[in-house]
Structure formats: C-alpha cells, structure tokens
Amino acid sequence: MQTRLAPLVFPLLCLGVGTFTLAANSRTRTIALANQPVTVQELKCEYMADPLGIDTLRPRLSWKLISNQRGERQTAYQVLVATSEAKLKRNKGDLWDSRRILSDQTSQVVYVGKPMQSRLSCYWKVRVWDKDGNPSDYSAPARWEMGLLNKSDWHGQWIGYTPPTTNTEKPISLNGAYWIWYPEGDPTTSVPIEERFFRRQITLPNNNKIKSARLRIAADNLATIFVNGEEVGQSHDSWTKIEVFDVASHLKPGANLLAVRVKNEGTAAGLAARLEVSFESGDPTITLTDKNWKTSKSISDGWQTDTTYNDAAWVDAKEVTKVGGKPWGQVPDTRTAPPAPLLRHTFAVQGRLKRARAYICGLGYFELHLNGQKVGDHMLDPGYTRYDRRDLYVTYDVTPYLQAGSNAVGIILGTGPYDDNVPAAWDFEKAPWRDRPKALMELRLEYENGRVTTLTTDNTWKASTGPITFDNIYAGENYDARLEKSGWDTPRYNDAGWETARLVAAPKGILAAEQMPPIKVGQILKPAKLSEPKPGVFLYDMGQNFAGLPQLSVEGTAGTKVVMACGEKLHKDGTLEQGNIAGFVKGHDPSMQFQTDIYTLKGTGREVWSPHFTYHGFQYVEVTGFPGKPTLDNLRGLVMHSAMQPVGHFECSNPLLNAIQHNTIWSYLSNFQGIPTDCPHREKNGWTGDAQLAAEQGMYNFDSAANYVKWLNDLKDEQQPGGALPGIVPTGGWGYQWGNGPAWDSAYPLICWYLYQYYGDTRIFQVHYEHLRRYVDYLTSRAQDGIVSIGLGDWVPPGPTAPVAVTDTGYYYRDALIVAQAASLLGNGADARKYTQLAASIKRAFNAKFFDPKTSSYADGSQTALSCALYQGLVEPQNKEAVLKNLVAAVDKHDGHIFTGILGAKYVMNTLLENGRPDVAYTIATQKTAPGWGNWIERGATTLWEDWGGGSSLNHIMFGDISAWFYKALAGINGDPAAPGFNHFFIKPQVLGDLTWARGEYDSIHGKIVSDWKLQDGQFKLDVTVPVNTTAMVVIPGTDATKIMESSLPLQQASGVKLLRTDNNSTTLAVSSGTYHFTVPFVRVTQSRSARVMK
C-alpha cells in the first residue's frame, strides 16, 4: 500500500530563504511582469550571503540578474568594495573599484582589491551594463567580514576542565588483573614480533542460571578471543581502551575454556582480561589474567576448543605488571567520561559599542553563552574535521548580547568526535587527536570612540561541571536538571565555589574558519501517533524518519528519570528495535546506551529539554520512566541538518515519483551534518562512496557548494603521501585498506568535477589538482595491466555483485579524464596530454579484458557491468547500439526492475536516458514491487533505505541519484559540459509512461531555470524560464516546427527563439534568456523495446 506523505516544509533553512514546499499535485504557472530594466540581486561571497569571519584571502563574488526582457544579458560590470557602509553609499570603493569590466561573468568573480586583513569588514555592491550598454542601478549593499588570518591574531590560551569523576554508572575496569605474557625477554620494552597463545579453564556451577557474562580485555597488539572454541571477537591495540564482549551465550555449566591468541607487532606486548559472570542468585564468578593462565609459543589442534586438551608442555604466564603499571598505564575506562565542562568569565563594557565579535573554537562541540543567552542558533559547532590537521573556529556577531556595565561569557563543551569515548568499529576512541574537550576564544569589543578591548581564554577563567553528565555522538546524552547552575552565564552569579580553568595543550591542527552553512534546527515535527505497547513503555511515532533530536516536555517530582531511546524500527510487540543500527557500537558492549537520552527532572514545574551535543536518526522514540501518561504534546522532533538553501523543486503527476523525491530530500538532509554521511544513526561517517553518488542530486536540490568545498579540504587532509584515501572522511586512521577502492575514493575527483560543472568553480582545481593527480598515480601503481580491483564494488545488489574490476576500472578511467581536463583548465598541457593518454590506455585495457565481441556484452552481462561501460564512456562507438540492446534485455530479464547495487543504480538510469531509452528507465523508476525505489514507498518508507530488502538502515542516501534523474529526464534540465555553471543548458523533458505533467525548478548560480510541461487537450504545453545572461537549447516533441506556438504566436514570430533542427521525432530550438510558453499538438508515441542510440 502506498504511503500518504505530508508536504515537506523547511522553514527558514538559511538567511534570505523562506518556506520551501514540496506538495504533490501543487502546480504554479509563471506570471508575466511588466517590462523592467535589469536588476542585480542575491549577492554572495564564497557561495554565502553576508558571510562572517571567512579566511579566503581572495574571495569570489557572485550575483544574479533579474529581467523579464528576453535576450537580456550582461555586457559589463562594476564592483565596489568599501570599508564602510557610508563610503559604499557614496560609491567610493576604497578597497576595490573594479571600474567597468567588459565581461558577462556573474559568478566566480575574484576579488583583486587591496589585501585582506584580519577582521576587515567589506561592504560591496554591483552594477551591470545590459545588452544595449545601459547601466543598471547598483544592487542593494552586501558584505563579508574577514576572520583571524594569522596565528598571531590569537592571543588566548586553550583551556579545559576535567573534574574528579562523578559518574555513577558502573565502570568498565580491569581491576585486579595483571598484564601477562610468555616468559621471555622484557615484555615492557621488546619481545619477538610473533604470536603467543593463552588458555584458562574456568568452572561454572551447574545449578545456577547465567544472568550475564562480560569479558573485558586489553591487548598489545592484536588479540583473537575464543570461548569454548567459538571466536567471539578481535581486539586491536586495545591497550588504548578496554574492549567488552558479551559471552553469556558461549558459556555453559561446568568446565569452560577461555583461549586467546595475541600477536605482538613491536615493542611492548601483553594481555589483560577480566571475565565477570553473574548468576540469577549468589555472587558473580570473576576470572582475571594472572600467573594461573597457561601460555605457549606454538599450538596444536584443540588448543582453543578442548577443556581436556593436554597443555602439559605449556608454561605459566608471566605476570608483567598489574593493570595501571608501566608502560601501559591505566587503560581508559570508556564509561566514566567526566561531565561536560562549564567555563565562565566576567568583564565590563565601558562605553558605546560599535561592534563585538567572538572568534571561538571549542572541541569537540561547544555552546557560547552571553548574559544568560545562548549565542546564535547553530547546533554542533564547530564542523567535524581531521582535528590533528585542521580545526574550525566560528565567528559570532555578539553585539546584541552585550550590555553596558557588567557582562558574563560562558562556554559549554561537549565531547563530539574529538573525544569519542564509546568504542565502535571505526576506532575513533583511538584517534590520534583524541583529548578532553577544550576551548580557545577571542572576544573583541570595538567602541565608537575607537578603543578596542579583547577578552581571551586563559587561566583567569572559572570552571565547573553542570547538568550534562554524559554526552556522546553515538550513545546520546544524559542530563540531570538537579545539577543545573542557575544563572551560571550571567554576571551576578556567585562562582566562588568554582575552580580555575586548566591550561591545556593546543590541538595539532591549524585553525581555519568554518566557511559553510552551520547545522541548525530546520523544522519541528509533532508526533503522528502515541501508543503504550507495554505498561509504562510509551512509543512515539513521528510519522517521518529524520535526523535530529527529541524534545521533551515534562512535569514531575525531582529525581524522576525519563529515558528516550530513538530508532527507526519496531519489534512485533510494538516496542523499539535498534538492532539494525546499533551493532557497530553495542557489539563492543551490549550494555552501552545507544541513541538514548536520559533526562532527570529537577521538579520545578514544566521542564522542556533537548540534548545539546548529539543527534540521532529515528522515526520512533520509546519513552520510559515518564511520570504519568504522556500525550502527543509531551514530545517534539527537532529536525537537524546543515542549513543549505533549497534551490531545486521537482514534482509530477505520478504520486509514487513525488514520494521518492520526498524521501530523497529527507535522506539527503538527514545525512548532511557538517559532512556528507552514510546514515544518521549507526555510523554517522563521511563514507566517500555514498557522498559521490548523492552529490549531483544534492546540487540540484540544495546550494551545497560551500559544504562540499569544506569536505574536499577534509579529503585533502586525509590523503596519504602515496595518494591513498580512506573510505570515511574524516577518519582517525581507519579505512585506508578496507572496503573503499576507486568507487569510493573517486568522490574526490568527482565532486571537484561536479562543482566545476554545476557552479563553474575552477578554483577547486587550483586547490586540489596536485592531490587529484597523486590519487590517479596511486591507482596506476595499483593497476595490473590497466585494470584496478580494490574494495567493495557495487554494494548491496539484490543478486551477485558485478566484478569489482569492472566498476573500479570505470572510475579509474573517469578519474584520469578529470585530471586531464583539470590540467587543461589550469594550462598544464603536458599533464593534460599525459592523463588523456592514460585514459586511452585504460579504455583499451578495459575492452580487451571485459568486452566480448561475439555477444557485445561486458564481463558477466549484468545491468551494472553493461551500464558501467556505457555510462563511463568506455564503449567504442560502433558497439554502443548492441551493448545498449543487451542492457535493455538485462532489465527485461528482471521484469523491468533495477537489479544492481548502489553504483549500478546511478549508471543504469543515466545510461538509459543518455542513450535514448528513458522509457525503460521510467519503467524501472515506477515499479512497486521489489527491488526498486517504489517498493520502499509501498512498504511505508519516508526516507531512502540502505538496501532493496530493507533489512539494514532505513535512512541512507546512497541510492539518491534518482532525484537528479528526475531533473534530467522528467523535467529535462541538463547542464552543458562545455558551458559550466549552467551558463548554457538543455531543456529536454521526457514524456514517459503515464505522466501528464512535470515541473522542475533549479535556481542555478546564474538564476532560476524552470521547465514546466503538461499534456492538455491534445497539446504539449511547455513553460520555460532561462535566466538572464544564459542561453538554452529547448527540445520540443514532434518534427513539424510550423505547428509550434510560443505565447500564442507562430514560432517564426517569437522573439528570442531560433529553430536549429528537426530530427529523432523532436524539434530543437536555441533560446535566449526569458520566459517562454510553447505549445504543440501531441500524440503519445510508445517506444519499441528494441534499443536505439540517440544521435
């Protein structure tokens, strides 16, 4: 049954943007305006409106032109940049007066005025000359402001606070255990780089049922653990933290065997463990590593399985030192992270302020408070980076928060990814940057009389803890409102009992400006349903899967603890199921909280709370401990994502496709929290494969350029000297040698290329070219006879995976071409020739390896293999028609369904469109049975899923390119690769299947493009808007141009339109800027199943 979806509304996602609505069957028509001169609007600097605190020394400027006169274009421009609004008003550009520049450029205009300086305010405006040489009025003024450009601009010191532990949760410890090793050499310094084996028999009572059994273990370096012969897990370098394994299901009454294989990888070596088995009654049984363990250099069959194994030749383990001793020290207890620090300082404002700025970096996350108010509406500041290489600071205009006389500033610090204290699959708890939260701030006050004062972080600040007793990006947040320090961020608060903030070591990364839209709350959801599946267990259904937080409203007695667990699936009994998303975290310790927030009431009336330093992916919230019976009004959902402006809108007459578009947008926003992620719950990682597959639809739907520019810097920071890239970015070291390969790594060259194509951004190649070239050279070093095969390949197909070498080599070829084209753009002819030749050699190797000339098929003949060859441009021209025919047959083989993983899903849809068979792609897109996007809708999905069957995550973006296909195929909006930034583009809507209308809007960097068509009374009606200063090629169905009308006039009388050709049952027109209304008689033509190639 198809799900009925509410309209998607994102109010005030970013400054200057109103409500963005996607509602099925809602259509608008263009209304003609009276003739007006060209106007200049939407001024941006580095892709942002009025950015504050940037550090780009030569920022790029852009603007859009508005006119309802056809054929309007810019012939020249003049930019004025001034140090004050008053000077700008007098048309005095004391920083830069470009004078009149003969150019049609309206974006990527590089500032070339006086050198930028720290904290400099730049006020600017633009005027242009139109096609007739007439000047426009100047635009409304815009501004940008520089941040701190030099290390010497920072005068403060890094501060933090780690109080004596007050965590009341049961700690994970190895108390009483010894580090043990085989008796040889000195295990604290150096022993052979070899494996050693350890055994310990334990006997459990026969008459007492096991309640729980936790094995806590630390090893230097790699340990493989067995219980009664079954491998229960591995632990790598866990001397940096304790690994926990649930072994209850592996134990039995009577004799049991615990066995461990440990490999030393250099320097010190050791094993420490504590097994605690609890029973339904009586005391637990505790087994510790000590001299009672047996150890050996060699093994024989049965050593880890048989309790009767003869280990007479084994020797007693050597007790190296008690846990806590050198060289390992105290192994971190991941469950006893200190509460979130509060930092405060008071200061005076003496005189009339002109402006005040706070420049602040707080790691992992921070909130800035002034005089009792949180500053700004950002969430999870600053953006996530590779902290030992780059740390972002945020600039706030704090002028409105200050008052004459006494003031107080406060900072709350959260752990974030910087101090990830929960062990998980990606080893962030071992990250080289990991440290306790810390902050650095410059608070600069500029007075009207010219005086300047600065307050910085130092050891005069006071520190304490507050109500946030635990926070973690995966686990959630615990908040005890009884511990609130009322008024702590106000000047009158008595902080006599607070300690002095500690001076701490600075992070190793360079400080850089957070030059992208921040994470914000974009929408507040009211629950759709509330149930009580078990007594005292209340289940809220938000009606939509999303990323964000629950917001609790509650009233009760002090000390009442309300637990909110978040997830996206339910058990059959209606309770919350987290199993599909919790494994990578809870697999290390099943008792670890996951996506769970705990609020303890202070008991002073109505209390409203949401977490500060975490976020979750969820549709359901399971609430326990609530005082009384909650109602729908006791919970809200705060939808969080990077606050990117919506620039795209697609809808059509098919509700199923509208629902897929709805789900794609929700998944994309769920998975953009400062970085593009795979999922908002289980991993929250910047998986590169997911990012590259979602990037084009992300650029059609949102102004995402600044966010991608930032993430590309993260990729640059992560690249190893030899060129290798990790599968997740940022990473603490995990993922360079696991699972990624070119299908993932190619996010780097591909997203650079997309920024060039969608935004006309060439600086992206100036910044990243050497790194892109290094990556292609790395692939060349890994190639065997021009073929690359690394990683996962076409992830999560419903059947066999296409050969990895096919998809990998396809990306290798594409990457080489991108580097060649980038080199050409940068004027590097030698490299352009080199990588063009490399691409040609890869193409020859690919066809020699995978193409069968007898069958005109590639590799296994799968949809993925065939479409990969076509999509990546690897098929020789003479073979295209036959290969396309095979692809159509491969779709027919699966009854018109997609039968690929994430890579093939992008290839197939785009290949069929680009090669004249969009009808086949439409059949795929509209299938309601599995596998397919439509089947997800039929099964109640409100976001995109990780796999076609729905067994894993229900909020992944990696299948999201279908939204880009909607724009390209059904709305027909396609950029021209030869004119990047949609300076010239194509409008070629496909009238497919049962569609009777479709509308696409794309607010490009030059302005809004509209393609709006419908079938009505035997007519095909197409409304097109071409932005000022751009041109388009419009393709109309039918070959009789005499029957085409434009705004009720015959085509030959229409201004701004030129007939180019008629072929392939269509008429192609060249169109200048303006709004057009085309009409032509239409008879639907059914495409035959035989393949043909578009000429």
Q: Does 441 reside within a domain? A: yes
Mean pLDDT (whole number) for 106-124: 98
For residue 128, pLDDT beyond 50: yes
Tell me the per-residue pLDDT of 503-515, one tens digit each, with 9 for 90 and over.
999 999 999 999 9
Task: Give the residues across from 523 on adjacent strands.
Answer: 639
Whether residue 799 sits in one domain with residue 764: yes
pLDDT, tens digit (0-9, with 9 covering 90-100), for 187-223: 988 889 899 999 999 999 998 999 889 899 999 888 9
Structure token pair of residue 142: 């815009």
Residue-averaged pLDDT of the chain:
93
In a domain, residue 78? The reply is yes
In a domain, 574, yes or no: yes
Whole-number percent of the chain with pLDDT over 70: 93
Q: Are residues 766 and 864 in the same domain?
A: yes
pLDDT tier at 20, thresholds 50, 70, 90: very low
Q: Is 185 left (phi over 0), alpha (psi -120 to 50) or beta?
A: left
Q: What single-letter DSSP state applies at residue 997?
A: E
CB 368 within 8 A of CB 518: no
Tell me what pLDDT residue 424 has: 87
CATH number of residue 45's parent domain: 2.60.40.10
Q: Is residue 569 part of a domain?
A: yes
| Calpha distance 1047→483 (Å, rounded) | 69
Residue 981 has pLDDT above 50, yes or no: yes
DSSP string, 364-432: SEEEEEETTEE-SS-BSBS----TTTEEEEEEEE-GGG--SEEEEEEEEEE-GGGG--S--TT-GGG-T
pLDDT score recorded for residue 1095: 24
Q: Are residues 942 and 994 in the same domain?
A: no
Question: Is it the case that residue 765 has pLDDT exceeding 60?
Answer: yes
Q: Between the CA atoms of 979, 982, 984 and 990, what dihedral angle is there, to the nearest 10 degrees?
A: 120
- Residue 329's pLDDT is 77
- Mean pLDDT, residues 599-603 taken together: 96
CB 801 within 8 A of CB 794: yes
- Residue 1009 sits at φ, ψ, to 5 deg, of -100, 135
Q: Are 1005 and 959 in the same domain? A: no
**pLDDT computed for residue 6 by the predictor:** 35
Residue range 954-968: mean pLDDT, rounded: 99
Confidence of residue 1087 (pLDDT cuts 50, 70, 90): low
pLDDT-derived band at 90 (thresholds 50, 70, 90) equals: very high
In a 13 Å sphere around the CA of 866, the CA atoms on its Cβ side amount to 28
Model confidence over 887-930: pLDDT tens digits? 999 999 999 999 999 999 999 999 999 999 999 999 999 999 99
**Residue 513: predicted pLDDT:** 99
Indicate if 815 and 928 belong to the same structural domain.
Answer: yes
Q: How far apart are the first and last CA of the chain?
A: 41
Residue 236 — pLDDT band, cuts 50, 70, 90? Answer: low
Nearest to 1082 by CA among 1061, 1059, 1062, 1066: 1066
Which of 584, 606, 640 is the last residue before a domain boundary?
640
Secondary structure letter of residue 1094 according to DSSP: -
Contacts of 201 (CB under 8 A, 6+ apart): 255, 256, 257, 258, 307
State which residues form the domain around 610: 537-640
Q: If you average pLDDT over residues 643-667, what whole number do you get?
A: 99
- Check if the beta carbon of residue 850 is closer than 8 Å to that of residue 789: no
Q: Report the b/e string of 555-566 with b at 16+ CB within 10 A.
A: ebeeebebbbbb
Structure confidence by residue, pLDDT tens digits, 284-310: 999 999 999 999 999 999 999 988 999
Q: Which helix (H) or strand (E) holds 843?
A: helix 829-850
Distances (CA, A) of 204 to 215, 246, 543: 15, 16, 48
**Is pLDDT at 608 greater than 80 in this prediction?**
yes
- Distance (Å, whole) CA 620 – CA 569: 7
Partners of 841 in the β-ladder: none
Backbone angles phi, psi at 364, to 5 degrees: -70, -50
Question: Which of 944, 971, 998 is a domain's end point?
Answer: 971
Residues 719, 577 share a domain: no
pLDDT at 331 over 80: no
d(CA 532, CA 712): 46
CA separation for the pair 484, 465 (Å, rounded): 9
User: Pick from 277, 298, 322: which residue ends a domain?
Assistant: 322
pLDDT score, position 928: 98
Q: Is the pLDDT of residue 25 over 50?
A: no
DSSP state of 689: H
What is the CATH classification number for the domain harbouring 963? Answer: 1.50.10.10
Chain centroid to CA 984: 30
| Those residues with Cβ within 8 angstroms of residue 700's Cβ, 6 or more apart along the chain or in another chain | 647, 648, 963, 964, 967, 973, 1002
| pLDDT (average), residues 1047-1055 | 95
In this structure, what token pair is assigned to residue 853?
């000339």
SS3 363: strand
Count Cβ atoms below 10 Å from residue 1031 Cβ, excluding itself. Answer: 18
State mean pLDDT over 467-493: 97
Residue 855 has pLDDT above 60, yes or no: yes
Burial state string for 820-844 with b = 16 or more CB within 10 A and e = fewer than 16:
bbbbbeeebeebbebbbebbebbbe
One domain, residues 1037 and 1070? yes
87-102: average pLDDT: 98
Statement to judge: residues 661 and 706 lie in one domain? yes
Locate all alpha helices (DSSP H) within 915-1000, ordered by sequence: 918-925, 933-938, 962-965
Within this chain, do residues 211 and 231 fall inside the same structural domain, yes or no? yes
Q: Is residue 1087 in some structural domain?
A: no
Domain count, the chain: 6
In angstroms, the CA 660 to CA 676 distance is 20
Q: For residue 432, is it within any domain? A: yes
The 10s digit of each residue's pLDDT in 163-182 is 765 444 455 578 889 999 99
User: Are residues 201 and 246 both part of a single domain?
Assistant: yes
- For 525-569, write each residue's pLDDT tens digit: 999 999 999 999 999 999 999 999 999 999 999 999 999 999 999
The mean pLDDT of 850-866, rounded to a whole number, is 98
The residue type at 825: L
Residue 589 has pLDDT above 80, yes or no: no
Q: What is the domain-level CATH number for residue 1048?
A: 2.60.420.10
Residues 683 and 752 in one domain: yes
Give CA–CA dist 146/56, Å, rounded. Answer: 8
The percentage of residues in the chain with a pLDDT greater than 90, rounded to a whole number, is: 85
* Beta partners for residue 295, in sequence order: 198, 315
Whether the pLDDT of residue 338 is over 90: the answer is no
Residues 6+ positions from 892 with CB-CB distance below 8 Å = 1089
705 and 822 together in one domain: yes
Least confident of 436-440, 466-470, 734-738, 994-998: 734-738
> DSSP labels for 805-840?
HHHHHHHHHHHHHHHHHHHHHTT-HHHHHHHHHHHH
Question: Where residue 541 sits, what CATH number does that domain have?
Answer: 2.60.120.260
What would the 3-class secondary structure string for 557-578 be?
CCCCEEEEEEECEECCCCCEEC
Phi and psi, residue 540, nearest 5°? -95, 130
Instruction: Identify whether 775 is part of a domain.
Output: yes
C-alpha 387/C-alpha 126 separation (Å) is 39
What is the pTM assigned to this prediction? 0.85
Four-residue CA torsion sign, 683, 684, 685, 688 = positive
pLDDT digits (tens, 9 = 90+) for 346-373: 999 999 999 999 999 999 999 999 999 9
Calpha distance 480→609 (Å, rounded): 11
Q: With contact defined as beta carbons under 8 Å apart, do 988 and 1035 qualify?
A: yes
Q: Which residues are catalytic?
A: 683, 946
Provide the 3-class DSSP secondary structure of residue 552: strand
